[in-house]
Structure 1
Amino acid sequence: MTDPHSGYFIAGSAFTAPPLAPGLYVVATPIGNLRDITIRALETLAAASVVLCEDTRMSARLLDHYGIKGRRIALHEHNERHKAEEIVRHVAAGEAIALISDAGTPLLSDPGFPLIRAMAEAGQPVFPIPGASALLSALVVAGLPTDAFAFHGFLPNKAGARANAITALRDSRETLVFYESPRRLDDTLAAMAKIFGERQAAVALELTKRFERVSRGTLAELAAEFADNETKGEAVIVVAGADAPTAPDAADWQAALVEAMADQPTRAAVDEVTKKYGLKRKEVYDAALALKAQE
């Protein structure tokens, strides 16, 4: 059971955290500014029997700042699969356990997925404690559409694999969001400019910190801006989705249909033209029937 007398401090004032129901609490923490934490997150971290940290040294800065003295255990990509079963047993026995990453919302390009899956498979409760997220913070200030977006985390380190991953997203219509290391930011922007073309984009750096910075422009402009500039901290890249494809000229695809029907069965000709021009099959099939009726 959790300690009902667990507490925390805000600006020197002491507060008592209420007890928690048994379960795993996925707690979002600040991405830079320590004040960007919710009261519910503080209560959860203070009352939990243990706090699972991506790096206990990194998390100590936040926990110590708010006077949270509970037990801390490292849970990272190298041990999370091994520890998942043990954590599930503790929750099943009645403990309330908190999970945090170094910054932001756990599981978003951070450890935690194997544990959450193990909890779900065991039928144990998992509670989200929402808060800061670099992904959403960058998205809302980028100046790009937010009605549909896709998060792709970190692209591959190697240039060839990175180019292949970007190419696979070339036709995606939704706004695209990526995380990137400051060491690879220039190379990634250059690759995006080459593959995506002249799309609008934004690069967010040091979000919520003193030197917060958001640069906007075309991918080519951003690639040039960051080509020789050394940056600090992880970047968030937000890229506009692909433009809607223009409708093919009717005369073009109908001429192609006539040509295709001249040397292959109607069904095969219809399939070929449908795929080549991105049309609805019924539309092409109806046109093929009309052509056959004229013979």
Structure 2
Amino acid sequence: MMTDLKHAEMPSDEMLVAFLDGELEGAERARIDTLVKTDKAVGARYEFLSRSEMAFYDAFQPLLENAPTAKLEAILSGLPASVTAEPVPRDWSRRGFMAAAIAFVFVGVAADRAYIGMQDVSSERDGSEWRAVVAEYLSLYTPETLANLTSDEQSQNAQLRNVGDKLGLALPVEAVSLPGIPLKRAQILQYDGKPLGQIAYLDPEHGPMALCIVQSSKGAAAPQTERRRGMNVVYWSDQAHGYMLIGRNPADRLNDLAERVRTALNA
């Protein structure tokens, strides 16, 4: 009768397959044999692997034939030779095939991540990288993130002066206040080694929103809109700074608020 060995360590699938294929010898084979016979979990796993007599090569062949080879070859040309693979011979043992399968998975994941990374970089080369970072950061906010922050006028003025000093920009509280939406905090963050000002608000209906500002030499640009991380964004720039107002507010309402701030800061 099989019993549970509470302190027995579960052998890896590779080890069990090696035992199944007769590739273990001596003490190691005896150890695995004992575990298979006396440990229920090990025995069940061994039984599962021993029933796996399918034609592994034939099962994977359609995946290999349908792989996006053109894209992958271009990406894989930059990967180390250690992760490339020769065609799989049909007389490989299951242990050998498992190792090859792991290699294929590694190459596939590495290639896919490299491709995604290149797509992300290329899609943000228009100068919008900082907006993507802000959107990702703000998507983590909940109303509780801002609810208990001190919002007295003296503290706000001090915070806004500090942010303005770092950015080289006057930020009077009346210019960045939004009707019916409390200003909760102004702080300096950093993006790409440069200061990024964040003025955070808590809309009673739509939750956290933020006015973010960076120094920019791209010149003045009229307000534009976009969607990021499920939030609406209005962004614009003057001769020295880039701005974005982001939140879950309806797009038309956010446009009105952004225009109010833009007009006040230009006054």
Same structural fold, with TM-score higher than 0.5 when normalized by the shorter chain: no
TM-score, normalised relative to structure 2: 0.29
Structure of greater relative contact order (alpha carbons < 8 Å, 6+ residues apart): 1
- Name whichever structure is richer in helix by fraction: 2
Higher alpha-carbon Rg: 2
TM-score normalised by L of structure 1: 0.27
